């Protein structure tokens, strides 16, 4: 179907960092755990320690997933990705100090926890 341009369309950008009260919009995703169908976004302070992100924010996303009870941050092998690139977070440093900024996506992969394939669903 053909379309015709009838004028300029410049919608306001509502997800600018200035609109988040000093917070960054940070997305989180657990690879292969698709009972949660997409990354979840959270407005988080840039000075939040990464360990707090792991222990307080990620449970908000994944506590309902049956595999989450098997995730022990101290013993489970975890591979981290920031905006598509492998990275090793410093758990004691802030999100900003780990290179996480506004609209970043933090993904993690757990080779021994494989989502629905490992919990018999």
Residues 16-46 pLDDT 10s: 999 999 999 999 999 988 787 789 999 999 9
CATH number at residue 45: 3.10.20.560
Please tell me the total count of domains within the chain. Answer: 1
Q: Does some domain include residue 30?
A: yes
pLDDT of amino acid 117 = 63
Q: How many CA atoms lie within 13 A of 54 on its CB side?
A: 16
> What domain range includes position 83?
20-119
Q: Does some domain include residue 26?
A: yes
Q: Does some domain include residue 9?
A: no
> Has residue 121 got a pLDDT over 50?
no
Q: How far apart are CA 14 and CA 28, in angstroms?
A: 20
User: Which of 94, 10, 81 minimizes the C-alpha distance to 39?
Assistant: 81
Q: What pTM, to 2 d.p., does this model score? A: 0.84
Q: Does some domain include residue 1?
A: no
Q: Does some domain include residue 8?
A: no
Q: Which of the pair, 118 or 81, is modelled with greater confidence? A: 81
> pLDDT for 37-73, tens place per residue?
789 999 999 999 999 999 999 999 899 888 888 899 9
């Amino acid at each position: 179907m053909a379309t015709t341009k009838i004028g300029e369309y410049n919608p306001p950008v509502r997800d600018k960092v200035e609109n988040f009260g000093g917070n960054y919009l940070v997305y989180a995703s657990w690879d292969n755990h698709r009972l949660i169908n997409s990354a979840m976004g959270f407005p988080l302070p840039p000075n939040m320690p990464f360990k707090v992100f792991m222990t307080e924010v990620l449970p908000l996303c994944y506590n309902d997933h049956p595999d989450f009870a098997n995730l022990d941050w101290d013993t489970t092998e975890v591979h981290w990705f920031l905006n598509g690139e492998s990275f090793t977070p410093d758990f004691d440093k802030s999100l900003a100090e780990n290179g996480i900024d506004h609209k970043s996506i933090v993904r993690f992969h757990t080779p021994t926890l494989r989502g629905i394939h490992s919990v018999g669903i």
